[in-house]
A and B are shown apart, each in its own frame.
Chain A
């Protein structure tokens, strides 16, 4: 196990590379999901308020 974390003495390069990848992917996923939910909610609310026939959602 210690061997695995040591990455043949390349730990200081390998783990930051994987950590950066994980962080960027997770942030991309969460921000996209959040923006999508917010935008959809916004349209729903406006369509309710206006009461138009032409519904998007």
Chain B
């Protein structure tokens, strides 16, 4: 218990965080570039056409990881928010706030690329009756609402609390997205990867792309958390200067 508490306290210190993240930035950034370079090359040049979908299957490599990231990042936000509310961890709301624009970008990308894949495969860009499509759109709106809420409250402590509560309410959409393809069997197909119904020729480049998106997110998340810490410090200094 003592060890765990020490660890949490160590990471909770914004100054320590700045030191650690500073050392991690070049590694995560470099690793993300390598993974994405390999992933894009592999996906575009070294994968065969699908026996049913032809070359439209190329969209899978940018679409599926984006959708995963949208949910993954949201879960991190909800987890950090809960940690912030319960344990009052000083970096929790910084972590949650900094992740949101990235999660929103991945979710928007999932919707856009999904729609571009839907047209040739289903004959339509969009269908309001499809639970997966609609629950994913709702996720984007939750992200945008979350970001707007942060921006609408000046006091960081009050903003953090309100945003944390919103993120926990919105977390109800995550299982709905996940199970939507099983509960409502409409346009969107069920998961192929977890069923093992995907050929290794597709699975490997998909895994590299997913890892590339994840490491890219980690790099940008660190950058944005540092930005937020700097901004708060600036704000405090401005107040001190004015006093």
Contacts and interface: CB of A to CB of B under 8 A. Distances in A.
Interface of A: 4, 7-10, 13-14, 16-18, 20-21, 24-25, 28-29, 32-33, 35-36, 39-40, 42-43, 46-47, 49-50, 52, 56-57
A32 B224 contact: yes
B90 interface: no
6 contacts: A7-B55, A7-B56, A13-B56, A21-B113, A29-B220, A32-B220
**Secondary structure at chain B's binding surface: helix, strand, loop or mixed?**
helix
B119 A13 contact: yes
Contacts, number: 105
B142 to A, nearest CB: 19
Interface string B42-68: 001100010000111011001100100
A14 B109 contact: no
Nearest to A40: B230
Which 3 A-B pairs have CB atoms at the shortest separation, nearest pair first? A8-B55, A39-B230, A7-B55
**Secondary structure at chain A's binding surface: helix, strand, loop or mixed?**
helix
Interface in B15-29: 15, 18
B217 to A, nearest CB: 9
Contact of B241 (A29, A40, A49): A49
A28 B230 CA distance: 19
Contacts of B238: 46
A9 to B, nearest CB: 8
A43 B228 CA distance: 11
B117 A13 contact: yes
A9 B44 CA distance: 15
Interface in B112-159: 112-113, 116-117, 119-120
Given A35-B224, A46-B238, A56-B233, A21 B109 contact: yes
A17 B116 contact: yes
Nearest to B226: A36
Contacts of B58: 7, 10, 14, 17-18
